[in-house]
Amino acid sequence: DTGVSQDPRHKITKRGQNVTFRCDPISEHNRLYWYRQTLGQGPEFLTYFQNEAQLEKSRLLSDRFSAERPKGSFSTLEIQRTEQGDSAMYLCASRPDQGYNTEAFFGQGTRLTVV
């Protein structure tokens, strides 16, 4: 399977714990996005990488959230000191860097539940 892969698919954690999610984009896709989606809402932009460079980060992202893409391939999203409001679906998407008319390919997401 050469699609976007996210791990884990589901995560239940206690409030205050740290969690880390992984995204493996389609090979050779330069651009990588993280989104958060809650019930009844569309995907909410979190951050964007072009290769290993984090080019944009949402102002909505608190300092408890951090993302990395160390070698321009896979990416991790870490949430420190989780809160119940962090419960959501976390989506990753990748795109090739071939201009402006390229579609994004999404993973199946990681569903986080903070109890």
Per CB under 8 A, which region of 20-28, 41-49, 65-73, 80-88 contacts another protein?
41-49
CB count in 10 Å sphere of residue 102: 12
**25 to 21, 29, 55, 90: CA distances (angstroms):** 13, 7, 17, 14
Sequence-ordered list of residues with C-beta below 8 angstroms from that of 36, at least 6 positions apart, any chain: 43, 44, 46, 88, 89, 90, 91
Q: Is 88 in the site for another protein (CB under 8 A)?
A: no
Residue with smaller CB distance to another protein, 12 or 60? 60
The β-bridge partners of 112 are: 11, 88
Q: Is 91 in the site for another protein (CB under 8 A)?
A: yes
Binding test (CB under 8 A) with another protein, winner from 56, 78, 81, 113: 56
Binding test (CB under 8 A) with another protein, winner from 40, 63, 70, 71: 40
Q: Is 103 in the site for another protein (CB under 8 A)?
A: yes
Residues that bind another protein (CB under 8 A): 3-4, 31, 33, 35, 40-45, 48, 55-56, 91, 93, 100-109
